Amino acid sequence: MAELAVAVGMSRSTFALRFKILVGLPPLDHLARWRIRSAARVLRTSDRTAGSVVTAFGYSSESAFSNAFKRMTGHPPAHHRRLAAQDDAEEA
């Protein structure tokens, strides 16, 4: 965030405030949501396991990823994959 603030000629706090006003979320919350949504898409559209996407989306452990995923989506990554598979089966 500091690098972004410098790039646009603002302090970190001013950048964070303007970002929140424009986007609706603080920068780090937006980033966390983006990471989980991106990981969810990978889990839904590929055969990769939750463990294989952990570091790709910036988490230090599978546990940290699973906890964040559950907090944001309401269910663990494996359950998300099962729901996506059920949706695909119903569409067919």
**What domains can you pick out in the chain, each with its CATH number?**
27-91 (1.10.10.60)
What is the reported pLDDT for 80?
Answer: 79
Residue 48, pLDDT above cutoff 80 = yes
What is the reported pLDDT for 39?
Answer: 92
Total count of residues recorded for the chain: 92
3-class DSSP assignment, residue 73: helix
Which one is predicted more confidently, 45 or 18? 18
Distances (CA, A) of 65 to 16, 17, 34, 49, 50: 24, 27, 13, 12, 8
Tokens 């964040």 belong to residue: 68
Residue 11 DSSP label: -
What is the reported pLDDT for 49?
Answer: 83
